[in-house]
């Protein structure tokens, strides 16, 4: 097996049928891609289809061709060879037709080439890795506010390496799952208890169960570690925000306390007494 090169960056693609993890850019088998880069991790998801029907695409291409035909005629009148303008127009119309057809398709990721790519097809492994990827985004969101406590570049390398290792572990685990299911089917065959074939299958099932437990424990440790990093960062940020709020409140209270002594007589009660006196005098005059 070829030796894996040191990890410089990671490309992670997710569509409806698989998760692809590769150190190289991920291509599309159909449709277009939407790429988002965070540090050394580039996430790739299929872009939503444009929704344009074949009739819509044909109408747009025809309108473009008509406009380019007029432009070609104008350029020919200015002395530019007609075949130059015609070839350019044809190439542009062909590109637009191809791009529109591509945008209208449902996006599907292409499988990576070589041994460095990881492809997760089993539902359980895909969901586990997608959860870890979502938690890793939470971890990255804490770094700007924790830049005085951590080195973002070093943290980025560590998190990227953790995702790559988790993808490798999940790839191995889905292979173990497949073999485990196959041995379970074979083990249900109607054979004598002392059959050598039955005993051999039982021995292999014990080995595969041991690998299953081992990889499950390793995966859980990695998932818990990533989640712990996210919770720890978010907890520190909450504590910092509460501390800042307490300091701001203390400052405001100090400013209010330093605003001077309270007035000798409050104006509210005085206003109420004067109003009551005016109303009483008005009633006396009305009675007279």
What does the DSSP assignment read for 210-237?
Answer: HHHHHHHHHHHHHHHHHHHHHHHHHHHH
Token pair belonging to 245? 């709020």
Both 97 and 117 in one domain: the answer is: no
Distance CA 229, CA 138 (A): 9
Nearest Cα to Cα of residue 170 among 52, 21, 9? 21
**pLDDT tens per residue, range 236-287:** 888 888 888 888 888 888 888 876 665 555 555 666 676 666 666 656 666 6
Both 130 and 151 in one domain: the answer is: yes
Question: What is the average per-residue pLDDT within 115-119?
Answer: 84
Both 28 and 168 in one domain: the answer is: yes
Owning domain of residue 79: 54-104
Q: In the prediction, which pLDDT does 135 show?
A: 93
Collect all residues with Cβ–Cβ distance below 8 Å to 11 and sequence separation of at least 6: 20, 21, 22, 23, 24, 25, 26, 41, 42, 44
Both 231 and 182 in one domain: the answer is: yes
Distance CA 39, CA 95 (A): 33
Q: In the prediction, which pLDDT does 241 show?
A: 85
pTM over 0.85: no
Both 159 and 142 in one domain: the answer is: yes
CA 267 to chain centre: 60
H-type alpha helices, the chain: 54-77, 82-104, 123-142, 152-187, 196-257, 267-287
Given pLDDT bands bounded at 50, 70 and 90, which one contains residue 3?
A: very low
Question: What is the average per-residue pLDDT within 103-127?
Answer: 85
**pLDDT tens per residue, range 129-173:** 999 999 999 999 988 888 888 888 888 999 999 999 999 999 999
Q: In the prediction, which pLDDT does 193 show?
A: 60
Both 124 and 77 in one domain: the answer is: no
Q: Provide the number of structural domains found in the chain.
A: 2
Comparison of pLDDT for 190 and 46, the residue scoring more: 46
Indicate whether 24 belongs to any domain. Answer: yes
**pLDDT tens per residue, range 25-72:** 999 888 888 999 999 999 999 888 777 777 877 888 788 788 878 887
Distances (CA, A) of 165 to 140, 168, 205, 227: 18, 5, 26, 15
């Amino acid at each position: 097996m070829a030796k894996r090169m040191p990890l410089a960056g990671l490309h992670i693609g997710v569509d409806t049928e698989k998760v692809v993890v590769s150190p190289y850019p991920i291509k599309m088998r159909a449709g277009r891609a939407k790429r988002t880069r965070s540090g050394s991790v580039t996430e790739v998801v299929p872009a939503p289809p444009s929704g344009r029907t074949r009739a819509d695409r044909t109408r747009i291409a025809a309108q473009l061709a008509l406009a380019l035909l007029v432009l070609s005629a104008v350029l020919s009148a200015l002395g530019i060879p007609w075949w130059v303008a015609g070839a350019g127009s044809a190439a542009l119309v062909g590109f637009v037709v191809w791009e529109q057809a591509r945008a209208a398709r449902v996006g599907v990721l292409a499988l990576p080439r070589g041994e460095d790519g990881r492809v997760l097809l089993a539902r359980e492994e895909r969901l586990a890795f997608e959860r870890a990827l979502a938690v890793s985004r939470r971890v990255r969101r804490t770094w700007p506010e924790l830049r005085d406590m951590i080195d973002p570049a070093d943290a980025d390398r560590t998190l990227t390496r953790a995702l790559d290792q988790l993808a490798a572990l999940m790839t191995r685990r889905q292979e173990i799952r497949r073999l485990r299911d196959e041995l379970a089917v074979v083990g249900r065959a109607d054979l004598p208890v002392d059959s050598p074939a039955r005993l051999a299958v039982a021995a292999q099932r014990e080995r595969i169960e041991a690998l299953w437990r081992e990889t499950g424990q390793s995966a859980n440790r990695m998932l818990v570690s990533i989640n712990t990093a996210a919770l720890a960062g978010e907890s520190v940020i909450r504590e910092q925000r509460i501390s800042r709020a307490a300091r701001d409140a203390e400052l405001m209270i100090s400013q209010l306390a330093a605003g001077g002594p309270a007035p000798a007589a409050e104006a509210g009660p005085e206003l109420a007494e004067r109003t009551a006196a005016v109303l009483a005098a008005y009633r006396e005059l009305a009675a007279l």
